[in-house]
């Protein structure tokens, strides 16, 4: 266990940040999974900007790497283009 006041505080703050990051990452993964299950183009067009925004926010906060964000957005756009 930590011995210094600052180290004890760092342990507390790291655990809070870790929980928030896990929640945000899991939420994004679930929304991406739901988007991939959409078969209608109109529904996909409505939810695409929301999901892209979510991915960009995660990338900006360094929860996911910027290259991974670009890769995810590219795959989602390809899925959207395939829909009829």
Q: What is the pLDDT of residues 39-52, one digit of tens each?
A: 999 999 999 999 99
Whether 31 and 54 have beta carbons less than 8 Å apart is answered as yes
Report the distance separating Cα 18 and Cα 69, nearest Å.
Answer: 19
pLDDT in tens, 4-32: 999 999 999 999 999 999 999 999 999 99
37 pLDDT above the threshold of 90: yes
CATH superfamily of this structure's domain 5-82: Ribosomal protein S20 (1.20.58.110)
Torsion of CA 72, 77, 79, 81, to 10 degrees: -170
Report the distance separating Cα 73 and Cα 56, nearest Å.
Answer: 9
Confidence of residue 84 (pLDDT cuts 50, 70, 90): confident
pLDDT at 15: 96
């Amino acid at each position: 266990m930590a011995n210094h006041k600052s180290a004890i505080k760092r342990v507390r703050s790291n655990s809070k940040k870790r929980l928030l990051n896990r929640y945000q990452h899991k939420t994004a993964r679930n929304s991406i999974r739901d988007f991939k299950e959409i078969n209608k183009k109109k529904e996909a067009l409505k939810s695409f900007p929301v999901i892209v925004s979510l991915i960009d926010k995660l990338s900006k906060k360094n929860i996911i790497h910027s290259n991974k964000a670009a890769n995810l957005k590219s795959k989602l756009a390809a899925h959207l283009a395939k829909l009829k």
